[in-house]
Amino acid sequence: MSYLLTPSFSIIVIGVLFVIAGILHFIKPDPYLRIMPSFIPNPKAMVYISGVFEVIGGIGFLVPEFRYLAGWGLILLLFAVFPANIEMFFKGYKKHGFSIFTWVALIRLPIQFVLMFWIYWAGIK
């Protein structure tokens, strides 16, 4: 069970997680479009662009020669999409008040920073 906490296992999980998440931007773009902040131009294009970067970053994180650069790219991507996660919380709160959805959206905000640290720990440091 201790292998679950190793960088090599984490690299695989992180890489696959981002590839799947990126593909979902193309298969099911509507959930991403709904959380897009209104100040972002061309929301649909931004959903697809972020999906491309997630797939590229996830694949790059799996390749040792690209891991360092891909890791920093994924961390920057998480910072870039953070406003959408904030928007998801506020839209959910406005529509439902404090529901299970809004609590999950709220808890997701600090988890983004945990994910950034996990990427750093597993593939950059």
Q: How distant is the alpha carbon of residue 53 from its chain centre?
A: 10
d(CA 101, CA 119): 26
Average pLDDT score over residue span 62-85: 96
Q: What is the pLDDT of residue 2?
A: 64
d(CA 34, CA 90): 12
- DSSP assignment of 4-23: GGSHHHHHHHHHHHHHHHHH
Q: What is the pLDDT of residue 125?
A: 86
Average pLDDT score over residue span 35-46: 92
How high is the mean pLDDT of the chain? 93
Residue type present at position 18 = F
- DSSP assignment of 75-115: HHHHHHHHHHHHHHHHHHHHHHSS-HHHHHHHHHHHHHHHH
Q: What is the pLDDT of residue 101?
A: 86
